[in-house]
Every structure is written in C-alpha cells, then in structure tokens.
C-alpha cells in the first residue's frame, strides 16, 4: 500500500476519533475527496516543476503515532528562545505537550486547535475563519484539512498587543521508524492588534519525518503581524509548509523564512489583499549544502488599490544542493497605485550547486510601480583578494562576504534575541567564528 492509499484508508479511522456531526465533517470529507482525486503533486505540474516528492514518498510513514512520547526540557532547551520570555505551544510527534508549553487565555488566546475545533465556545470563530483563506484545490492543503486537529490556535483581540512573542515548536522524537505529521495553525489578529510569532519544526534523531503543515493568518484592519519561520532541521526531515495570509485595510504583515536544514523543504507562501493601504513583506535567507533541496513558492495577490508588497530572498547554495525560487506578483485591474517589489539574489559556492529561479509579474492595472530582479553568481574574487591582502584568512573572508550578502534580510528581524540566534546559526552553517561565542 502506497502512502496515498494509506492516507485515504486512514481517514475513516481518523473520523471515528472525532465528532462527525460537527460542521467540519463536510469540510474534511470534501478535502479528502480532492486529495484522493489528485494525489500528491508531481513535476508535471508547473508549480512543482523543480521539486519531486517521489523519493520521500517511498518511506513507510506512520500516519498516527503508535504511542505518546515525552521529552525532558533539558533535551530540547537549546531549541527555545530562552533569552527572552515567550508563550509556548509545543507538540511532540504531533501531540500537544502541556509540560513544555506555556499558553494563556488572559487577554489573548494562545492555545490548541484541538480545543478550538471541538469546544462549542469557539464554534462561531471556527465557522468564520477555519479553511476560509486556505486553498480548496491545492492537494497537500486539502490533505492537511482532512486530518486537521492538532496545532496552534492564536487569537489576539481588537486593540490588544501580545506582551511577549509566541513560540510554536513541533518536535519529532524518532520513536517511529518514519512519521508523517500534519499540524494546522490558525492565527487571528484583530483590529489594531499586534503579535510576534516564531515557528519551528525539529527532529531529535535521524529517522525520516514528513511534515505537511498549513497555517492561516487573518490580519484585520491596522493589525501588525511579525511571523518568523526557523527551518534548521536534521537532514532526514522533510517539510511542506503551506501558509495563507488574509490582510484587511492598513494591516502590516511580515513573514521571514530562514531555511538552513532539512532534506527537502517546500514553502508555499500566499498573501491576499482585502483592503487599501496594506503592506506585505516577504523575506528569506537560505543557506544549504550536501544534497539539500529548498523551494520557495510565493504569491502576492494585489486585489485592491494603494497597497505595497516587498519580497527579498537571499540564497547561498553549496555542494550538490538545489534551490528554487518561484515568486509571483498578481495585480488585478482594480489594484491601481500598487507598489510591488521583488528581489531574489543567489550565490553558488560549488560547481554542482543548482538554482532554479522564476520571478513572475502578472499586471492588469495600468497605474502601478512593479519591479523584479534576480541575480545568480559567485563570490566577488576581487573583494576576496582585497580582504586577504589585509590579513583576513580566506575562510573568514568568504564568511564575511556571505554575512554582508544576508544582512539586508537579517537586519529587519525585530526581536533582538532571535536575530542573535539566527546570526549564530548562519555562522555555524558557514563554519566560522565571527567575533562572538557560539
């Protein structure tokens, strides 16, 4: 039995564990039917032209963990942003860990999707927001919707500011020979509210893991959302991350994606505008080597006038690794006065490294400012020679040039402790010490 057949047959067992009389029953049923009809995406599809899942799908993944596992804080302390106090929503092999978590209902809601999807007091909110911006056609999003239960639920009410960042971490213990998990996150940020969120997926050993994650973010009028994804997993881990963002009038949402680890990573990032004077920011740093594969697929749908979007992705690829950047800006006829910027810069540091870049502009309005740019090259040998002439060893000179290359993205991180943590990860990836203790 292949993975698709296992998932379809497992859906019946999953439904036996939940309330099939709820309003979500039809949503889940339609979703599994879409997945059953389409199956996993293949390279025949334009959006997946450069990314194949075939090798991953050969693993015999467990769809449900056979038993609940626990881990001690000391084992995973290094993965937390312990330099600053945070709310924490932590999962172990797809199951919520109350021991490692620190949630709240005081003024803001930081809790579980399982509670929100099953408790009557959340029904109106779930009916209004759940699966409303996520794609109904994208097959992996449909698969996640069918099995959606565990994940983070964050609701910041009108005019509230989250008093500290929120960490969402998914740990995989590796107790299963191979495990597939499908977390579902829902983030609702009310009018004039503000939140900072950090998300991470982390394996604790080398057993294969496939994570199919879906996150829906709703930013209401004048809301501010700063979202950071840290992807620095083991080389046996595979992540497909589908994020959908709905923005209302004058809201500001920034999404930073830092891709350093994992075997295969696919980031589907989709912004949709539903009001004027919206600002969307998409930034990323990717540093990969060996045979890693990272694919960034972005969409900003400008549907309303007087809005801005800014994309800036920096990629450093070594060994036989492969990077993909497919960024689309869609400007509808009504979206006059749009200002959309897209930049993708790539450095190849080995002869076998590969980058596939496809920036796209689809413009149907006539009064806009839209630009895109893509560069692919190597480190500047003249700059290297200049630094070596002044006593800087070659390895450190290379690292300094790469840091300078990444800094434009790194400097926009608004949590100082997180910026320092990412800087240390970059230094480790580049195998250097740059004036601070790692």
Q: Which of 2-16, 44-58, 296-310, 332-346 has the lowest mean pLDDT?
A: 2-16
Residue 37 has pLDDT above 80, yes or no: yes
Cα distance between residue 280 and residue 91, in whole Å = 29
**Which tens digit of pLDDT belongs to each residue from 217-253?**
999 999 999 999 999 999 999 999 999 999 999 999 9
DSSP alpha helix (H) spans, 202-261: none
- What pLDDT score does 21 carry? 60
- Residue 437 confidence (pLDDT): 38
Confidence of residue 358 (pLDDT cuts 50, 70, 90): very high
Q: Residue 402 has what pLDDT? A: 87
The pLDDT mean for the chain works out to 93
Share of residues in the chain with pLDDT > 90 (%): 82
Whether residue 156 is predicted with pLDDT greater than 70 in this model: the reply is: yes
Q: What gap in Å lies between CA 154 and CA 109, rounded to an integer?
A: 5
Whether 399 has a pLDDT exceeding 90, the answer reads no
Alpha-helix residue ranges (DSSP H) falling in 70-221: 73-76, 113-118, 123-129, 139-146
The set of long-range contacts for 416-422, using a CB threshold of 8 Å and a minimum separation of 24, is 417/81, 417/83, 417/84, 418/81, 418/165, 418/198, 418/228, 420/83, 421/81, 421/83, 422/230, 422/258, 422/285
Per-residue pLDDT reduced to its tens digit, 419-437: 999 999 998 888 777 554 3
pLDDT tens digit string along 302-345?
999 999 999 999 999 999 999 999 999 999 999 999 999 999 99
The DSSP element (H or E) to which 382 belongs, if any, is: helix 381-389
Per-residue confidence (pLDDT) for residue 436, from 0 to 100: 44
DSSP summary character for residue 231: E
pLDDT at 65: 81
- pLDDT tens digits for range 271-300: 999 999 999 999 999 999 999 999 999 999
């Amino acid at each position: 039995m292949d993975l698709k057949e296992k998932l379809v047959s497992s859906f019946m067992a999953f439904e036996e564990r939940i309330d099939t009389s709820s309003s979500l029953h039809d949503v889940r049923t339609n979703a599994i039917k879409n997945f059953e009809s389409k199956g996993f995406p293949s390279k025949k599809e334009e959006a997946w032209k450069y990314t194949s899942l075939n090798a991953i799908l050969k693993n015999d993944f467990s769809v449900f963990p056979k038993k609940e596992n626990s881990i001690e804080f000391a084992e995973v302390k290094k993965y937390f942003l312990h330099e600053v106090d945070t709310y924490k929503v932590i999962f172990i092999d797809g199951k919520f860990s109350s021991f490692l978590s620190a949630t709240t209902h005081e003024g803001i809601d930081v809790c579980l999707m399982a509670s929100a999807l099953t408790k009557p007091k959340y029904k109106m909110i779930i009916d209004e927001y759940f699966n409303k911006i996520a794609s109904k056609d994208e097959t992996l999003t449909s698969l996640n919707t069918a099995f959606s239960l565990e994940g983070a639920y964050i609701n910041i009410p009108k005019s509230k500011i989250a008093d500290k960042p929120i960490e969402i971490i998914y740990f995989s213990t590796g107790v299963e020979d191979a495990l597939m998990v499908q977390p579902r996150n829902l983030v609702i940020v009310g009018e004039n509210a503000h939140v900072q969120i950090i998300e991470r997926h982390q394996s604790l050993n080398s057993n294969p893991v496939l994570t199919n994650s879906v996150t829906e973010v709703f930013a209401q009028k004048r809301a501010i959302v700063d979202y950071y994804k840290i992807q620095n997993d083991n080389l046996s881990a595979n992540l497909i991350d589908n994020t959908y963002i709905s923005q209302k009038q004058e809201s500001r949402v920034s999404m930073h994606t830092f891709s350093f680890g994992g075997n295969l990573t696919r980031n589907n990032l989709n912004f949709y505008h539903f009001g004027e004077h919206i600002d969307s920011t998409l930034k990323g740093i990717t540093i990969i080597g060996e045979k890693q594969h990272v694919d960034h697929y972005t969409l900003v749908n400008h549907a309303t006038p007087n809005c801005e979007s800014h994309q800036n992705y920096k990629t450093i690829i070594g060994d036989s690794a492969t990077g993909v950047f497919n960024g689309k800006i869609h400007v509808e006829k009504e979206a006059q006065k749009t200002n959309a910027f897209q930049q993708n810069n790539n450095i190849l540091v080995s002869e076998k490294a590969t980058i596939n870049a496809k920036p796209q502009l689809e413009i149907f309005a006539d009064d806009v400012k839209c630009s895109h740019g893509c560069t692919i090259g190597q480190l500047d040998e003249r700059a290297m020679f200049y630094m070596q002439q002044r006593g800087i060893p070659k390895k450190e000179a290379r690292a300094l040039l790469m840091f300078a290359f990444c800094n434009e993205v790194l400097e926009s991180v608004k949590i100082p402790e997180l910026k320092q943590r990412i800087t240390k990860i970059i230094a480790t990836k580049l195998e250097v010490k740059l004036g601070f203790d790692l």
